[in-house]
Chain A
Amino acid sequence: DAGVIQSPRHEVTEMGQEVTLRCKPISGHDYLFWYRQTMMRGLELLIYFNNNVPIDDSGMPEDRFSAKMPNASFSTLKIQPSEPRDSAVYFCASSLGQGPYEQYFGPGTRLTVT
């Protein structure tokens, strides 16, 4: 398996623009997670899905952030409008089942909002 795939790897945009980050989880994994990593706040869980259904979005910072998972092989994280404080590395991860399974992380998308 190719692992978790994220695109784009780098995104530079201007404040106010819409940003869409994409993720393809590992086939067969039924949990998908979106994280944000910054120097100041470390690794933060934004939202996670089980079988394409959002389970906990309490980490989504504001209404400007939204995430969808239309099918088992694709998820998006959208920021509209983007702000400079959204600059971070965004990771997608996937995992098997409800047991003690580890998460597999994608390479991340480095977002810079100017």
Chain B
Amino acid sequence: AQSVAQPEDQVNVAEGNPLTVKCTYSVSGNPYLFWYVQYPNRGLQFLLKYITGDNLVKGSYGFEAEFNKSQTSFHLKKPSALVSDSALYFCAVRPNTGGFKTIFGAGTRLFVKA
């Protein structure tokens, strides 16, 4: 079965330190990969996506993500965390064939301490 795993329910980091939010997936072929962020009482908001090409993708608010095909991972990163980055982060994967269903991970709560 196709799946997306975010192994950490919560990630804690101090402001100014680098952050990583992990994502691995089990989807056949060459899927499209996405990261979304959800702030309290808001809908999900697109951050970045990987389609093809360079394994390092840059997105909104200084976030970037590293694609690793051999490890089927797509980890979200930021060099210097801000308190305002505290939110719920979702990894999402969409197969590039056979339909339009996007598979979302369970989400990782990021807490950035001042």
A binds B: yes
Q: Which A residues have a C-beta under 8 Å from some C-beta of B?
A: 4, 31, 42-43, 45, 48, 50, 55-56, 91, 93, 98, 100, 102-108
Question: How far is the CB of A30 from the nearest CB of chain B, in Å?
Answer: 11
Question: How far is the CB of A22 from the nearest CB of chain B, in Å?
Answer: 15
Across the A-B interface, how many residue pairs have beta carbons closer than 8 Å? 48
A107 CA to B42 CA in the complex, in Å? Answer: 5
Residues of A within 8 A of B94 (CB): 100
A104 CA to B42 CA in the complex, in Å? Answer: 12
CB of A42 within 8 A of CB of B106, answer yes
CB of A102 within 8 A of CB of B34, answer yes
Residues of B within 8 A of A98 (CB): 100
Considering the complex, give the chain B residue whose CB is closest to the CB of A107. B43
Asked whether A105 and B101 contact (CB < 8 A) given A100-B51, A100-B96, the answer is: no
Considering the complex, give the chain A residue whose CB is closest to the CB of B42. A107
Asked whether A42 and B43 contact (CB < 8 A) given A100-B94, A103-B102, the answer is: no
A43 CA to B33 CA in the complex, in Å? Answer: 17
Question: How far is the CB of A90 from the nearest CB of chain B, in Å?
Answer: 11
A18 CA to B41 CA in the complex, in Å? Answer: 24
CB of B51 within 8 A of CB of A45, answer no
A105 CA to B51 CA in the complex, in Å? Answer: 20
Considering the complex, give the chain B residue whose CB is closest to the CB of A110. B41
| 20 CB < 8 A contacts A-B | A31-B100, A42-B106, A43-B90, A43-B104, A43-B107, A48-B100, A48-B101, A50-B100, A55-B100, A56-B100, A91-B43, A93-B43, A100-B96, A102-B46, A102-B49, A103-B44, A105-B36, A105-B43, A107-B42, A108-B43
